[in-house]
Amino acid sequence: MLDQLHIHSESGIPIFIQVREQVLHLIGAGALKPGQQMPTMRQVAVALRIDLNTVKHAYQELEKTGAITILRARGTFVAKPPPPLKAREHEARLNSLALQTLAAARSAGVDTVELAKRMIQLAKDKGDTK
């Protein structure tokens, strides 16, 4: 995983966000699998030559979103998929995630309809559709 993380200090994007987004990308792409142990925060900091607190911030954000699980003295792991939600909870989570994605796309100057089409295609390619 460490060889797939890259920091672009001139991009204007905070480093902890770059780390967070790249880890999410690796999880989404299947490069990091549920239950897989991740590098320690210190290993990431050393490999990327960034402050340990920056990596800690990124990992905490990932844990808040449920993407990873941090177990004291045991390590950090890619989270296993959560159990199915009830219909109302599922609908609320789906709407929240969609709105977050739309906001991120708009702020990056990406056409939201084009993004939706790309997401559908990527899901089909990965066999993630029902």
Average pLDDT across the chain, whole number: 91
What integer is the mean pLDDT of 76-81? 94
Is 95 found in the same domain as 61? no
- Rounded CA Rg of the chain: 16
Interhelix angle 41-48/52-65, rounded to 10 degrees, is 130
Does position 130 have pLDDT exceeding 70, yes or no? no
Residue at 126: amino acid letter = K
Is 43 found in the same domain as 64? yes
Is 93 found in the same domain as 67? no
Is 97 found in the same domain as 73? no
CATH classification of the domain holding 27: 1.10.10.10
Is 59 found in the same domain as 23? yes
Is 13 found in the same domain as 63? yes
* Nearest-angstrom CA–CA distance, 54 and 50: 7
What integer is the mean pLDDT of 92-101? 89
Is 46 found in the same domain as 7? yes
Q: Pick from 91, 92, 99, 96: which is nearest to 116 by CA?
A: 99
Is 74 found in the same domain as 95? no
Show which of 38, 57, 78 is a domain's final residue: 78
Is 68 found in the same domain as 14? yes
Domain count within the chain = 2
Q: Can you give the residue range of the structural domain that contains 118? A: 87-126
Q: What is the pLDDT of residues 86-96, one digit of tens each?
A: 888 888 988 99
* Nearest-angstrom CA–CA distance, 80 and 93: 17
What is the pTM assigned to this prediction? 0.68
Is 95 found in the same domain as 70? no
* Nearest-angstrom CA–CA distance, 18 and 45: 13
What integer is the mean pLDDT of 97-103? 90
* Nearest-angstrom CA–CA distance, 130 and 13: 35
**Whether the Cβ atoms of residue 127 and residue 120 lie closer than 8 Å to each other:** no
Is 95 found in the same domain as 121? yes
Is 48 found in the same domain as 97? no
